[in-house]
Structure 1
Amino acid sequence: MVESNNELQVGSIVTGTVVKVDEKQVFVDIGYKSEGVIPISELSHLHVENPGDVVKEGDELTLQVKKMDDEEVVLSKKMVDAEKAWEDLQKKFDQNEIFETEVKEIVKGGLVVDVGLRGFIPASLVEAYFVEDFSDYKNKKLQVKIVDLNKEQNRIILSHRAVVEEEKEKKKAELLESLEAGQIVEGTVQRITNFGAFVDIGGVDGLVHISELAHTHVDQVSDVLSEGDKINVEVLSVDLENERISLSYKNTLPGPWSGIENRINPGDKVEGVVKRIVNFGAFVEIEDGVEGLVHISQIANRHIGTPDEVLEVGQKIVAKVLGVDENEQRISLSIKEVEQDKEQGEIEQYEREEDSSSFQLGDMIGDKLDKYKQ
């Protein structure tokens, strides 16, 4: 409550107009028989080099009488500011409010900020990561929250880190809500483990299990990815309750069947390894991740009861491609036709050799007959 300037006493709240600004003090007209004086130390809770940085002539100020005698009335601006600031800070603290403040000093252990009073941000509460040098923070504006407020001990502890982490959690929740299975998103590989890779997809990490890294078998995650790699991944599932996201890297890559019809054509002979034997034939891997079927009727020239009469898992074979269907991911193979082609080739070679031998014998007999005719 502002009191009448005719009833001045220590503690009184008065209003006045700045009439002069000196190097170490400010003179204020408060309607009293003498001008009031604000020493430089009573201008602000922060260190002041020049009173002109805080007030200027003509400013209307609300002040508190700190000391008075017949010759002088000593006034304080910072005491009035402090009381008002405490009320404001208490409200912000009670409401867990986020507000902006400016860094005024870099001190050992943290930052001094202006919150109407001298506030302190400990080094551990500045950022969510370690900061070695705080010199760039001078005069920087930061969003903060009050984490400890005690008027009796004149303690005001603030945190910028809490604001950063709160914002991160908010974005994380929003992102989790927006994700759906089947989405393709960009991410950065954060951490590699023996069972997969954790990928940051915009503030939240998802796991690419080792089985989702490639279309072929992967022994070590580091064979495919490195920390820092930027990759596209497909969202497989989202567990909102446990904040778990399953991702796939291989689903964003061309599959082993992609373009197969450009690489393999009917009539081609291919090498492969028997991977599985079933009662109707054998599946043979002819490229990484690409298997073709040799039907039981295409295994041998003779009748067989079961494929394992002729074939065994791990056996290397040569087969002829009968058909390729990329869309259905099917390739029909024949071992029998390779054998038939081989036999046909041997017969043709024999016939060519026979023709050649007959021709030579005829030539020889013809020469002999010619001699007799002479």
Structure 2
Amino acid sequence: MEERDRSHEAEATRPGLRGQEAARADAQRSVTESQRREAGGRLATLIDSGDYDYTRPRRGEVREGVILSIGENDMVVDVGAKRDGIVPPKDLELVDEEYVDSLQLGDHIPVVVLKTWGRRDGILVSLNKGLQQQDWLRARDLLDGGQVVEAEVTDVNRGGVIVSFGRLRGFVPNSHLSSVPPGLRGRRLRTAKSALVGQSLSLAVIEVNQRRRRLVMSERAARRRERQRLLQELAEGQVRTGIVRNLVDFGAFVDLGGLDGLIHISELDWSHVTHPSEVLNVGDEVEVYVLDVDRERRRVGLSRKRMLPDPWDRVTERLREGDVVQGTVTNVASFGAFVDIGEGVEGLVHISEVAGGEAGLTDLQPGSPVTVRVLNVDAEQERIALSLQEVGAPLEATSVTEGSV
């Protein structure tokens, strides 16, 4: 016992683990032998009295340890047993240095019992396995709770990619990767997977088998869960930020974070838009207004123009009855022609206000520049009546305004 006491006293004078300065080592000395004997005496008394629920440590058991001392080569922890737990040097080398250097006397750490006997009559325990056990428990919680976690891709193999999950390695099979375009084979597939190394993926845990050390994860399952979560969270009137994923003739698809919504071409801008590429590019970040959510069909309607100033709010300041303005024909119908007169405002030239009636209407084509007279402005109903017939009439006190062509 005296030899053991001397070894502890000698260890208390050594510098901290992995080159920590002597000042820190001195400040973090182990509890004194008298304190430990006193604690041991109290423990023995409790055990003898039956008031303490004592269980002998078993190999493979996970216990919470309290750090008693930090030596140059090992660590001593109280594991609630008659003897202290010893974390050997080789085990500490497996734990990242930053974590070890952050430990202080009195800290609670998870350890796994390796042997119930060991050097200096202590119990041999593993901090590395204890930390891994925490990661296994976290993986199990994620599996049971259906939650999504971020993990960095560290390597690739023929079957998929390897990701870092705490102190464990997770595996994402090829069939569960969403970041890799479907249909790739051979070298093209491996190149696409290699490009993911260093990137963080949103993943769902789909299998946990600690005995076989299998941790399988899925990017596709994570995206499905994120879509479902978003569908439940989204509501009409919300404002969201997304990334433009695709442009089509009828609008733009925007990724809201796992769920795509559609901005119809009519909701892209207050001005007339012929194609979405006139106002957006793939990859653009865009702020959108949620118009409607169809959870059964998993469709979300979005608007970009609702996030822009409404030109109708100031149309009466800009236009008055009798004004002559320049515009562009945007559409021709059987009853008349629609004309863009600038700043996102369109007016209607009824067929009765077209010189020549139907014959004159057929001469108008989308994109044609025209000069029109303002007949009426109804800002509340967002309607403007225009005329092509009266443009040549005397202007008198009226003004001429140029619109965007």
Q: Output the CA distance in 2 between the equivalents of 1:97 and 1:174.
A: 17
- The residue number in structure 2 matching 1:194 is 248
Going from structure 1 to structure 2, the CA distance change for 1:216 and 1:285 (only over 3 Å counts) comes to same
* SS, match of residue 172 in structure 1: helix
Whole-angstrom CA distance in 1 between matches of 2:388 and 2:205: 77
Matched residue of 1:77: which SS? strand
CA 1:330/1:39 → structure 2, altered by over 3 Å: closer, same or farther? Answer: closer
> Which residue pairs with 1:224 in the alignment?
279
- For residue 290 of structure 2, what is the aligned residue in structure 1? 235
Contact 2:291 2:303 in 1 (8 A): yes
Q: What pairs up with 1:196-211 in 2 under 5 angstroms?
A: 196-201=251-256, 204-211=259-266
Does structure 1 retain, via aligned residues, the 8 Å contact 2:172–2:217? no
The answer to whether 1:40 aligns with 2:89 is: yes
Percent identity between matched residues is: 17
Match of 1:325 among 346, 370, 377: 377
* Alignment of 1:335 onto 2:389: yes
Matches within 5 A, 1:102-251: 109-111=162-164, 113-114=166-167, 119-122=168-171, 132-133=197-198, 147-153=206-212, 155=213, 157=215, 168-169=226-227, 171-176=229-234, 179-180=235-236, 183=237, 185-195=239-249, 196-201=251-256, 204-214=259-269, 217-251=272-306
Q: Deviations over 1:200-229 (max 9, x none)?
A: 456643111234334565333211212354
- Equivalent-residue separation in structure 2 for 1:318 and 1:47 (angstroms): 73
Cα distance between partner residues in 2 of 1:338 and 1:28: 98
After superposition, the C-alpha distances for 1:224-283 in whole angstroms (9 at most, x for unaligned) are: 2123545454433321122211223345554589626734542758788794555xxx65
Q: Which residue of 1 aligns with 2:315?
A: 259
Cα offset, 1:92, TM superposition: 3.9
Structure 1, residues 158-203: CA drift from partner, whole Å, max 9, x if none?
7697997688446513432xx12xx363534422322321234566
Deviations 1:267-316 (A, max 9, x none): 758788794555xxx657473632233647x968xxxxxx44x6342259
Instruction: Encode CA deviations 1:83-124: one digit per residue, 9 max, x unaligned.
Output: x949x849946972589x9x9xx899543735xxxx334588
Q: Is the 8 A contact 1:320 1:338 kept in 2?
A: no
Q: Over aligned residues, Cα RMSD in angstroms?
A: 6.3
Alignment match, 2:350: 293
Is the 8 Å Cα contact of residues 205 and 218 (structure 2) preserved in structure 1? no
Cα separation, partners in 2 of 1:43 and 1:2, compared to 1, 3 Å: farther
Aligned partner letter, 2:375: G
Letter in 2 for 1:78: S
Q: Which whole-Å CA distance do the structure 2 matches of 1:247 and 1:333 have between them?
A: 34
1 CA distance for matches of 2:76 and 2:238?
68
Residue equivalent to 1:314: 363
Q: State the distance in 2 between where 1:113 and 1:152 align.
A: 18
| 1:351-370: CA deviation from partner (whole Å, max 9, x where unpaired) | xxxxxxxxxxxxxxxxxxxx
Q: Distance in 2 between matches of 1:311 and 1:242?
A: 45
Counterpart Cα distance in 2 of 1:184 and 1:205? 15
Matching residue's letter, 2:315: G
> Do the aligned residues in 2 keep the contact of 1:64 with 1:76 (CA within 8 Å)?
yes
- The answer to whether the 8 Å contact 1:237/1:247 transfers is yes
Q: State the alpha-carbon separation in 2 of the partners of residues 277 and 50 from structure 1.
A: 76
What is the DSSP-based 3-state SS (H/G/I as helix, E as strand, rest coil) of the residue aligned with 2:293? strand
CA distance in 2, matches of 1:231, 1:204: 15
8 A Cα contact 1:22 1:51, kept in partner: no
Look at both structures and tell me which one has the larger radius of gyration over its CA atoms: 1
> CA 1:146/1:76 → structure 2, altered by over 3 Å: closer, same or farther?
farther
Alpha-carbon spacing, 1:291–1:237, altered in 2? closer, same or farther (3 Å): same
* Cα distance between partner residues in 2 of 1:246 and 1:326: 28
1:74-113 alignment to 2 at 5 Å?
A: 75-78=123-126, 85=133, 89=137, 92=140, 96=144, 109-111=162-164, 113=166
- Listed as ranges, the gaps of 5+ residues in structure 2 are 1-53, 157-161, 180-194, 396-405
SS of the aligned residue for 1:311 comes to helix
**1:54-105 Cα distance to aligned partner (Å, 9 max, x none):** 8969x9999664568xx975742239976x949x849946972589x9x9xx
In the superposition, relative to structure 1, how do residues 264 and 85 fare at CA in structure 2: closer, same or farther (>3 Å)? closer
- 1:166–1:144 distance in 2 versus 1, CA, 3 Å: same
CA distance in 2, matches of 1:40, 1:232: 54
Under a length normalisation based on structure 2, what TM-score does the superposition of the two structures give?
Answer: 0.48
- Separation in 2, partners of 1:20, 1:334: 94
**Partner Cα distance (1:11, 1:337) in 2:** 97
CA distance 1:192–1:335, shift in 2 (3 Å): same
